[in-house]
Chain A
């Protein structure tokens, strides 16, 4: 035991501890951090995998879905668990990878009624959801509770990722004020998705979370990375704070989470 680390932890986290930017102090910060992962699907799988490996002490995983064979083309943590709740399957994966991690599972859908209670337990939220209703709910709840958020989304061969630090940079609504009308954007189920795509986007999200928790580097605040796998390009789009933003603007219209805003009408 040196510096509060067991012999096993010294070996497990040695490559982190060696880094001047991390060290034992940074590793302890990670071990005492609490991260909530929204979804344990395409984006959630690599997010959960790397955050667990990095030694993020508490991982909350919310997902109401069960593992389907069609998920395994990209959701790499669910092998052998077809039919199991994804949150449970993810917990099993994390327990096998790193026994230091406490996993809290929520086998339910994130909604207007449970969001505030769940969010208050965590230091940062990572959105790996696959629909606009959840995405806007997560964004608004993060702004209202002042909780940092890593946003990622994927579509066919393309993905986007940004980091939202409420009131220090723009939020998701500053860029896209409202969800597209229902039926406008097809889901991954209808549109297809390249299996490796969420790996790239999810790992960028996990990178941002680790950087935020360590307090190092430059976060993707006010910047959105747009990734095109077919052309293998990463473009950076500048995002500006919108004074008229309905949730983080000067006179916000959304100041609490009301169910009617996040109903099925804006679900893809």
Chain B
């Protein structure tokens, strides 16, 4: 089961902060899918998450300013 987090309208660094807080609620191995509309987040958030050991399963562009990032919790 993939847990969804909608962060449309949110900017850095809160895109990462909120993703991190959501991941803390998950168990190791669970997956989180986060939706962003803030372009810098698509680079910054996966980089910060990798630094904390999480795995980026995929980044998908869903529209002009819409991305979905899939993360597996470490």
Interface residues of A (CB under 8 A from B): 2-3, 5, 10-11, 14, 17-18, 20, 23-25
CA distance A5 to B22 in the complex (A): 10
Contact: B13 with A18, CB < 8 Å?
yes
Interface residues of B (CB under 8 A from A): 5, 13-14, 16-18, 20-22, 24-25, 48, 51-52
Q: Which residues of A contact B22 (CB under 8 A)?
A: 2-3
**Min C-beta distance of B26 to chain A, whole Å:** 10
Contact: B18 with A10, CB < 8 Å?
yes
Contact: B14 with A3, CB < 8 Å?
no
Contact: B21 with A24, CB < 8 Å?
yes
**Min C-beta distance of B5 to chain A, whole Å:** 8
In the complex where A18-B20, A20-B52 touch, is A3 in contact with B25 (Cβ < 8 A)? yes
**Min C-beta distance of A2 to chain B, whole Å:** 4
**Min C-beta distance of A177 to chain B, whole Å:** 47
CA distance A10 to B20 in the complex (A): 11
Q: Which residues of B contact A17 (CB under 8 A)?
A: 17, 20-21
In the complex where A2-B18, A10-B14, A10-B18 touch, is A25 in contact with B24 (Cβ < 8 A)? yes
CA distance A20 to B25 in the complex (A): 15
Contact: B17 with A18, CB < 8 Å?
yes
Q: Output the residue of A10, A24, A25 with the most chain B CB within 10 A.
A: A24
Supply 10 further A-B pairs (C-beta < 8 A) apart from A3-B25, A18-B16, A18-B17.
Answer: A2-B5, A2-B25, A3-B21, A3-B22, A14-B13, A17-B20, A18-B20, A20-B51, A24-B21, A24-B24
Contact: A23 with B20, CB < 8 Å?
yes
Contact: B51 with A2, CB < 8 Å?
no
**Min C-beta distance of A201 to chain B, whole Å:** 32
Interchain residue pairs A-B with the least CB separation, the first 4: A3-B21, A2-B21, A24-B21, A14-B17
**Min C-beta distance of B4 to chain A, whole Å:** 13
Q: Which residues of B contact A3 (CB under 8 A)?
A: 21-22, 24-25
20 A–B contacts from the bound complex (CB under 8 Å) = A2-B5, A2-B18, A2-B21, A3-B21, A3-B22, A3-B24, A10-B14, A10-B17, A10-B18, A11-B14, A14-B13, A14-B14, A14-B17, A17-B20, A18-B13, A18-B17, A20-B52, A23-B20, A23-B24, A24-B24
Q: Output the residue of B16, B17, B18, B52 with the most chain A CB within 10 A.
A: B17
CA distance A17 to B22 in the complex (A): 12
CA distance A122 to B30 in the complex (A): 37
Which residue from chain B places its CB closest to the CB of A2 in the assembled complex? B21
Q: Which residues of A contact B52 (CB under 8 A)?
A: 20
Q: Which residues of B contact A10 (CB under 8 A)?
A: 14, 17-18, 21
CA distance A20 to B24 in the complex (A): 12
Q: Which residues of B contact A2 (CB under 8 A)?
A: 5, 18, 21-22, 25
**Min C-beta distance of A131 to chain B, whole Å:** 44
Q: Which residues of A contact B13 (CB under 8 A)?
A: 14, 18
**Min C-beta distance of A145 to chain B, whole Å:** 33
**Min C-beta distance of B52 to chain A, whole Å:** 5
CA distance A14 to B13 in the complex (A): 8
Which residue from chain B places its CB closest to the CB of A27 in the assembled complex? B21
**Min C-beta distance of A182 to chain B, whole Å:** 54
**Min C-beta distance of A42 to chain B, whole Å:** 35
